[in-house]
Structures are given as structure tokens and as C-alpha cells.
Amino acid sequence: MPAPSFRDYLYPPDHPRVALIRGLDARSYAEAAKGDSFAGPMIEGWQKLYPEPFTGVTNDGVLREELYPLTDALPGEEAPTSDMVATAEKLLTLTSQEQRDRLGYPVDAHEWQSWANPEFMQHDTGLRLDEVDPTLRDAALALVESSLSEQGYALVRNLMRINGFLGELVELPELMNEYSYNFALYGVPSESAPWGWQLFGHHVALNCLVAGTQLVLSPVFLGAEPDVIDAGPHKGVEVFKDRIARARELMASLPDAVRREALSYPEMVDPAMPEGRVHPGDERHVAGCFQDNRIIPYEGILLSSMPPASLALIDRLVDDSIAYLPAGPRAARRREIHKHYAETWFSWIGGWQSDEAFYFRIQSPVVILELDHHTGVFLSNDTPAPFHMHTVVRTPNGNDYGRALVRQLAKDKK
């Protein structure tokens, strides 16, 4: 039986889901969405969370200290700081004073926490890439490119292109296009002092801080609806295929008794789930936008209960989930994650065979990796489908946004 196609779930052009918002851009839709039965309660809930001062995600409400030492990166693990500084300075030369004032924030600004992944713009942070001159837009993306691996930048740009493809499919190009994203700078570009940048919008959110030779890219949200481009100039683009295949392979590789322990719920919307376990926007995700201080208890099984073949698949899932990092910081992050394998948990919701939708989480004191298949937002599927997924990466215990490093630097100056 062939896998379901996203094209089977396209709304007709006159359907109210798309017809009533046709012509709206992200700003006007942000206002309209407040009264929407789907988006309104979600926005209201996020508005209550946003003002909270940053602490960091934990598993039990107690912040573990000394997980993120402020030291020079090991040889071979250094951040591409010089290239990042050069591209950031070029970007700044292209901005007017008014644009520079909108673009920049202090390195410890609360606005870091304003990122979100929906198509509407809940917080107008920084500059909007589809509203600036293409030269300035390209300079902002050059900074993103200088901070990521080649593979990571290609994925980000493909997700942005899928967003534009979706906007064309449903005839909402003002709302969803290749450049409908906010971009901001934090701090002053420097070879030694901490600074960073932020890119966020529909299905793409990156928060990057560099402090000398250390680089932190977290939180990261990457997703797609649909997961392929099957027409137009970017035909052939596909995303997350390998990660999803490895996740299914992992579940199939587990002994039956171990798999049962890993399975938190057999159904994506399970009758045994407590109230609120499925969020209207995040669905099964627990570490998405505005969840900077959430308590997320460990679930499932410890990695130590897995046979070697399954553990090797965990390694591949971890590597694929952090592949957006440039080579040096990626090696440092991999080493940091592996160091805590003895206290790393794996949990699963849903099926794992054929094209069944699923959710998984890998969680330790230093990382949360999530992947969740979702129902349609601009497609009409009312159950989770393999062509719409969200992924999240967090750095628990206070180092999202590189905040643990920034706080240590601030203490050292006193």
C-alpha cells in the first residue's frame, strides 16, 4: 500500500481554512489568529509563559550546576568565530541606523525567548527578512551560513523553501514564503565576548550564541509541512527521511520487553494520556517555544538497557539531530552528549512500522531531542501524518541561548 501523499489533503481554494485568511501577511494574521478557535487559546497560553525570567528546562525543577564550564574549546572543537564576526560586521554595514536599532539587543535580552514556530508573528523581534532589501537579507543569511555546517545550512534553506512551496500551494504567499522569518542580533560581534543571532518563523527557529571558541545553538526548532517539494524549481527536496527511518529501525531493534518499557503510549492521542498531554500546537512536544523553564520528567528507558545494535542507532539519531552544527562545535556537542549516556532516557509514542506516525524523545541532563509527527495545519489531515513533522533540540539545565556561559562571564567580571 503506497504511503499517503500530502496532495491528498490539500484544501480546495474556497475552503474557509485558507480562503478567510487569503491576502493576510504575518502581521495581520497575528491579529486575526487571536480570535481563531485553534490559534487563539494557544497564543493566550504562550502570552502567559513569555514574561517568565529564564531559568532553563529541568527534569525535576532543580537546576544542575557546573554542566557547562566556561573554558576554551578543545583543539579541533573551536567555533568558526572569525568567520561569524566578519559576516556579522558586513551585515551591520548594510543597515541604516533605524534598522540597526531594530536588529540589535543586549546579549542577555529577554527577547531571546520570543521565538516561535507558527506562521503568524507573535513577537516582532528584529527585522523581517521578507521586508528588507535582498542584499541585507542575503547578508543575514550569510551569517547563518557561517555559523552552521554545510549540511545544516542546506537543511535550513530547504525548510524555508518548503515554507514558500506551501504558501504557493494554498495561495497564501504573503503569509508563508521563503523569507517570512525574523532575524535579530544579540550583543556586539566579537572574537572573545559573547554575542549571537536568532532566526525564527514557520518551521524554522535557530538561536545561536558564540563565546570565544565555544558555540551554542539551542533551542533549535526545525519542521516541515509537507516534507517534500514535488514541483517547481526546487523539485526533489526531501527532509528528515533518514532520521525517521533510523528511528523506526531503532524501535524494531529493541527486544520486546525493552520496547514495551520505552513505549509511553501506543497511540498518538491515547485515552490514557493525562489532560493537556497533547498541546493544540505542539501536540506531543514538551520542549517547544515558550517552554524555557518547563519541568520535563524522564520517561521510557535508560540507554543502558539497550543492546549494542540499538545503541548504535541512538548514536546515529544523535548525530543526525545535531548535524546542523559546524564540525568543531559538533564534535564538542557529541562528546558532551555521550558523556551523559549513563543518565540518558529514550521514550516513544505511537507506532513504528510502515508509515505509522510517532513521537520520540532522547533526554539527559545536557540534551533534549524530539521528533513528532503532526496533524495538518494548512493540510487537512486530522490525524498525525508522516509528511508533517516537528523536531526540537534543547540544552537543559540553563544553557539554552548559551545563557550558562553568559552568566559565568558576568560573574567573572564582578
* pLDDT tens digits for range 7-55: 999 999 999 999 999 999 988 998 888 888 888 888 999 999 999 999 9
Say how far apart CA 48 and CA 289 lie, in whole Å.
12
Please classify residue 249 by burial: count the beta carbons closer than 10 Å to its beta carbon, then call 0-12 exposed, 13-18 middle and 19+ buried.
Answer: middle
- Please give the helix or strand (H or E) that residue 407 lies within, else none: helix 403-413
Q: Which residues contact 414 (CB under 8 A, 6 or more apart)?
A: none
In this structure, what C-alpha cell is assigned to residue 375?
A: 496533524
Q: How far apart are the first and last CA of the chain?
A: 65
pLDDT of residue 1: 56
- 60-86 exposure pattern, b = at least 16 Cβ within 10 A, e = fewer: eeeeeeebbebeebeeebbbbbeebbe
What does DSSP say about strands 204-211 and 385-394: parallel, antiparallel, or unpaired? Answer: unpaired
pLDDT digits (tens, 9 = 90+) for 354-399: 999 999 999 999 999 999 999 999 999 999 999 999 999 999 999 9
Low-confidence ranges of the chain (pLDDT < 70): 1-2, 414
pLDDT of residue 41: 87
Residue position matching grid coordinates 508573528: 121
Q: Which residues contact 354 (CB under 8 A, 6 or more apart)?
A: none
pLDDT of residue 414: 63
Query: Any idea what DSSP says for residue 210?
Result: E
- Nearest CA among 324, 355, 126 for reference residue 217: 324
Single-letter amino acid code for the residue at 9: Y
pLDDT of residue 319: 98
In this structure, what C-alpha cell is assigned to residue 160?
A: 524555508
In this structure, what C-alpha cell is assigned to residue 384?
A: 498525525
Say how far apart CA 131 and CA 27 lie, in whole Å.
12
pLDDT of residue 242: 97
Query: Any idea what DSSP says for residue 288?
Result: S
DSSP states along 86-145: HHHHHHHHTS-HHHHHHHEE-TT-GGGGG---SSS-SS--SEEGGGS-HHHHHHHHHHHH
Using CA atoms, how far residue 5 sits from 235, 269, 386, in Å, is 15, 22, 9
What three-state secondary structure class fits 212?
coil
Beta bridge partners of 295: 58
